[in-house]
Amino acid sequence: MESVYKVVEIIGTSEKSWEEAARVAVDTASKSIRDLRVAEVKELDMKVEEGKLIFRVKLNISFKYEA
């Protein structure tokens, strides 16, 4: 059986951790994307906003493409 998958880039944020930022991103994406397969961490960074650290995770997620 042949399959095709689409890959998109998303960014999640959290005030707690990179892990929480990734979870938030995947949880949010899974609400509108069916058949989510893989989330690959591409980049981690932090932003300082009003004296607080904001953890950011850039992810590539893949899901089964339906024509």
- Residues of the domain holding 24: 5-64
The token duo for 12 is 């999640």
The token duo for 15 is 């005030």
**Number of domains comprising the chain:** 1
The token duo for 45 is 């960074």
- Residue 6 confidence (pLDDT): 92
> pLDDT digit string (tens) for 5-30?
999 999 999 999 999 999 999 999 99
Residue type, 31: K
Q: Are 33 and 26 in contact (CB under 8 A)?
A: no
> pLDDT digit string (tens) for 39-54?
999 999 999 999 999 9
Q: Which is more confidently placed, 35 or 58?
A: 58
* Residues recorded for the chain: 67
The model's pTM: 0.85
Distance of CA 31 to the CA centre of its chain: 12
Query: What CATH number corresponds to the domain at position 24?
Result: 3.30.1660.10
66 vs 1: CA distance, rounded Å:
14
